[in-house]
Structure 1
Amino acid sequence: MQKMLRKYWAVFTLPTFICFAIAFLVPFVMGLGLSFAKFTTVTDAKFAGFSNYIRAFSGDDTFLPALGRTVLFTIATVVLINLFAFLFALLLTRKMRGTNAFRTIFFMPNLIGGIVLGYIWQLIFNGVLARYNLTLTSDGKYGIYGLIILMCWQMTGYMMVIYIAGLQNVSPDLIEAAEIDGATSWQTLLHVKIPMVMPAITICMFMTLTNSFKLFDQNLALTNGAPGNDSALVALDIYKTFYNRPGYEGVGQAKAVVFAAILAVIAMLQLRATRSKEVEN
């Protein structure tokens, strides 16, 4: 079987590579080229040099504020989601009744689509804020706070399941040895469990960071960037630039390229930082 796989590996990988090329490589290369052009459709693109990038950073007053909001939003959600997910995982890996039911309940929000969640939480938040004669769109900060709460509620259960799998793979012999050596519960957690769960932490950090940084559908449904563009994250700002501002299609594409580059760099740095702390079980 191994000889056959080595001989015909191209046959098995070709369909996947073709799909990857059609769905990602070709659009990415075309998008990179269009970021240097002025266009309304793909067929009428005209080379414009770096003017789109210059307009994105200097002639456009929405991109940099949206990028700043996205960075702050991502930091808050990555910290809160992973903290709550790990705490819930610790609780639900203890011997107690109903752990399977709690795991299912906590995981269920991840099954709901982002658009639906956005509209549901919009009703909830506006119902609460109505008591104070406010709405989510009264101030941009309310929309950002709402997005943080929504994102934490949606993703904590998913990350919790990954942390549970990591904690269950920690060897009981290591924990027993730590207890024999007189380690407290906190010392066991800090010096045994967390180092052994670092692969799960790497995965969860990567998923929460990338999902938070490129959040779009929840932002669109919850506030649509209102008031003005004060609650828009980068993905929504790019969408509005491309589709709602005639003549700015190239600027929107330039923003998308910059956004993809920033996300790729941040993700690689995070992977390198967390993988360097992983230990073999």
Structure 2
Amino acid sequence: MISMAGKAIRRWWALFVLPTFAAFIIGFVVPFIYGIYLSFCKFSTVTDAQFVGFRNYEKALQDKTFLHSLLFSTLLTIVTTIVINVVAFAIAYLLTKSIRGSNLFRSVFFMPNLIGGIILGYIWMLLLNGVLAHWQRSLTYDQKYGFWGLVILVCWQQIGYMMIIYIAGMQSLPTDVLEAASVDGASGTQTMFKIIIPLMMPSITVCSFLTVTNGFKLFDQNLALTNGAPSRMSEGLALNITNTFYARTGFEGVGQAKAVLFFILVAVVSLLQNKLTTSKEVAA
């Protein structure tokens, strides 16, 4: 039997869905499609766009700073994805054990995620420059300082968030399987790699997806910590696109083309990563 509320929902579902659907179309689909169109145009405002074909994409792919930013963001994403997930998984494993003050530690590790990226960037800029001052160096002196400074900042901010996801996954592990492994004499290493990690693949999929996309989309921390210095050598993709769009008149179309290429890159990488980890999840 279907309740009266259920009948009403089935009859008037379109009325409830329409406002959200209309907002989605107006706020996302239309700007997204129009943005793709603008990537093929030369414009200063959206009302004076002139179609120029693939010229913007040619300029974008010939821009050495854009290609360098692609390499920079790729390396940053690889390093931060590995570090964040390994450390977050290890902390989550420790905090799911019966240790005193585990709830306090969870709160402490999660707190950096509550701070805005711009604020974190300026805080870590002061901290890291204070440390580097002993060697008469600064984050803006050499590309490698900016790179590793961003790695430290991003890992410090995101480890706590991924830790919470891993804790939720570990708390839902079937205890009977773990007990059976213990009874059968499985070592800690065998239990970890043969049982816990395969059963944790759904959580690993989520955390890997978030860290990969966050790494490529990094902007506010990059802006506050180094602003691309020295000579745009520590400039990530998102910051490079922003600088292209706003720095020089007449390059708005090139910046828009870079944004479309950026979207395609992140979408492809995210889909491949998701497919890879999901296949492991199914096999487990």
Q: TM-score range by the shorter chain?
A: over 0.9
User: Residues 136-215 of structure 1: matches in 2 within 5 Å?
Assistant: 136-215=139-218
CA distance in 2, matches of 1:36, 1:117: 36
How far is the alpha carbon of 1:279 from its aligned partner?
A: 4.8
Match of 1:128 among 131, 156, 160: 131
TM superposition score normalised by structure 1 = 0.97
How far, CA to CA, are the matches of 2:227 and 2:246 in structure 1?
14
Could you tell me whether the CA contact under 8 Å between 1:115 and 1:221 is conserved in 2?
yes
User: What is the RMSD of the two structures over their aligned residues, measured on CA atoms?
Assistant: 1.3
Q: What secondary structure sits across from 2:280 in the alignment?
A: coil
User: How many residue pairs get matched?
Assistant: 280
Unpaired runs of 5+ residues, structure 1, are none
Deviations 1:73-105 (A, max 9, x none): 000000000000000000000011000000000
* 1:257 equivalent among 252, 256, 260: 260
1:154, CA displacement in angstroms?
A: 0.1
* Residue from 22, 26, 32 that aligns with 2:26: 22
Deviations 1:113-155, CA, capped at 9 Å, x for gaps: 0000000000001111111111100011211110000000000
Q: Distance in 2 between matches of 1:89 and 1:279?
A: 23
Aligned: 1:219 with 2:222 = yes
Q: Of the candidates 76, 92, 95, which is equivalent to residue 95 of structure 2?
A: 92
Give the alignment of 1:262-281 within 5 angstroms: 262-279=265-282
Which of 50, 63, 82 aligns to 2:85? It is 82
Q: Which amino acid aligns with 1:51?
A: R
Report the CA distance between 1:280 and its aligned residue: 9.6
Quote the offset at 1:2 in angstroms: 4.2
* 1:150-200 C-alpha deviation (Å, 9 max, x unpaired): 000000000000000000000110100111111111111111111111111
Q: Which of the numbers 54, 58, 75 marks the counterpart of 1:72?
A: 75
Alignment partner, residue 103 of structure 1: 106
In structure 2, give the amino acid aligned to 1:20. Answer: F
Partner Cα distance (2:83, 2:207) in 1: 12
Distance in 1 of aligned mates of 2:13 and 2:143: 53
Identify the range of structure 1 (61-70 vs 3-12) with the bigger mean alpha-carbon deviation: 3-12
Provide the TM-score with structure 2 as the length reference.
0.96
Among all aligned residue pairs of Structure 1 and Structure 2, give the percentage whose two residues are the same amino acid.
Answer: 57
- Contact in 2 for aligned 1:109/1:157 (Cα 8 Å): yes
Partner amino acid for 1:116? I
Pick from 35, 39, 54 the counterpart of residue 35 of structure 1. 39
CA distance in 1 between partners of 2:11 and 2:274 (Å): 33
Q: Does 191-200 or 153-162 show the bigger shift?
A: 191-200
Q: 1:8 & 1:129 partners in 2: Cα distance?
A: 64
